[in-house]
Amino acid sequence: MMDFYDSNLVLIQATCTGLILALSIQVPLRMGVFSFAGAGSYGIGAYLAAILVIEQEVSAFVAIGAAMLATAVIGLLLGLLIFKLNGLYLAMATVAFDLIIGVITINGGETTGGSTGLYGVITDFTMGQMFALTVIVLALVALSEVGRTGRRVDAVRDDPELALSMGISLRRYRLTAFVVSGALGGLAGAMNVLVRSAIGPLDIGFGLIVLGLTMIIVGGSRSWKGAVIGAIIFTWLPDILTAIGEWQELVYGIIVALAAVFLPRGIYGVLVDLNKWLRRRRRERRDPPPAVAAEQAGDIDPKPGDVREFALNEETVP
């Protein structure tokens, strides 16, 4: 077990940061906000944490806290700026925000390290601390999906007019989505740079948007569990596909395309539907229709073929 951990430590760390990045996109999508600003916040959080550690020699948790606070505020300001946009226009505005962050890092001079980035971000940040932060984030996101908060979020996404009639402020919830997305993106970026000790322009940008969105599409956007599934698959899949050499990108693309076409609700959505079907089958077997139950109790005499006909019909129940 320890051999597996030691040999795959980089992938385990990447899974944690990828998961939180995916959540930074999944949380606003669950509220009906098509925002990919979490990828831009990832870059801001990573560079800010690196600058604080290199120039101010702050501790890892101070750098993480500063990164989350800064990206949460930036997320709020961005939300206020583009709040009235919806759908594709909102998505494109947040993609533009992400690309602007990439341009700034390249042209930031000594502050951002230019095209080479920043190196030598040395702290005492451990894998245990990283795992603990990931679990805390997962727990908080999971709590937001249940109870009164979960019902309100579903109403904001599925029926905004109904939500308004219930006294739910769409503006407040959507701005909250931007703030949470920014904070999670900043956390993911800060943790990544603290364990890798380096950050560069190639680590952010459009590729990061595609990665986070792919995790959500394949895993499922309606629950944090989908983000977990997507993060695990697309962190470990490239390493597994290295065995096929130059065919790696082709197979990767086919998997993503098939998942997008045949699994519109993601893998988690399929698992939810399968669980419902199995529960329905068990309930039907436990509680047969009244006529069959009466026949089994001997209250009525079944006609020839009735039991056989029911057995055939039971086999065809979806």
| Residue 80 to residue 68: CA distance in whole angstroms | 18
Inside any domain, residue 79: yes
Q: Domain count of the chain? A: 1
Inside any domain, residue 71: yes
Nearest to 230 by CA among 221, 219, 241, 222: 219
| Residue 29 to residue 181: CA distance in whole angstroms | 10
The interaxial angle of helices 170-196 and 60-82, nearest 10 deg, is 150
| Residue 178 to residue 24: CA distance in whole angstroms | 9
Inside any domain, residue 309: no
Say if CB 112 and CB 203 are below 8 A apart: no
Distances (CA, A) of 255 to 198, 210, 219, 249: 31, 14, 12, 10
Beta-bridge partner residues of 199: 118
Running DSSP on this structure, what letter comes out for residue 152? H
The interaxial angle of helices 170-196 and 9-30, nearest 10 deg, is 170
Inside any domain, residue 17: yes
Domain with residue 135: its CATH number is 1.10.3470
SS3 119: strand
For residue 216, the enclosing domain spans: 2-269
3-class SS string, 157-220: HHCHHHHHHCCCCHHHHHHHHHHHHHHHHHHHHHHHHHHHCEECHHHCCHHHHHHHHHHHHHHC
Digitized pLDDT (tens) for each residue of the chain, 318 residues in all = 677 777 888 999 999 999 999 999 999 998 888 889 999 999 999 999 999 999 998 999 999 999 999 999 999 999 999 988 888 899 999 999 999 999 999 998 888 998 889 998 988 899 999 999 999 999 999 999 888 888 888 888 888 888 888 888 888 989 999 999 999 999 999 999 999 999 999 888 888 888 888 899 888 888 899 999 999 998 888 888 787 777 877 887 788 788 878 888 889 888 888 888 888 888 888 766 665 555 555 555 555 555 444 444 444 444
Say if CB 118 and CB 63 are below 8 A apart: no
Model confidence, pTM: 0.84
Inside any domain, residue 136: yes
- The pLDDT score that the predictor gives to residue 37 is 92
Distances (CA, A) of 294 to 47, 128, 171, 252, 281: 72, 60, 57, 55, 20
Inside any domain, residue 304: no
Inside any domain, residue 223: yes
Inside any domain, residue 300: no
What's at 290, amino acid-wise?
A: P
Residues 6 or more apart whose CB falls under 8 angstroms from that of 125 comprise 60, 191, 194, 195
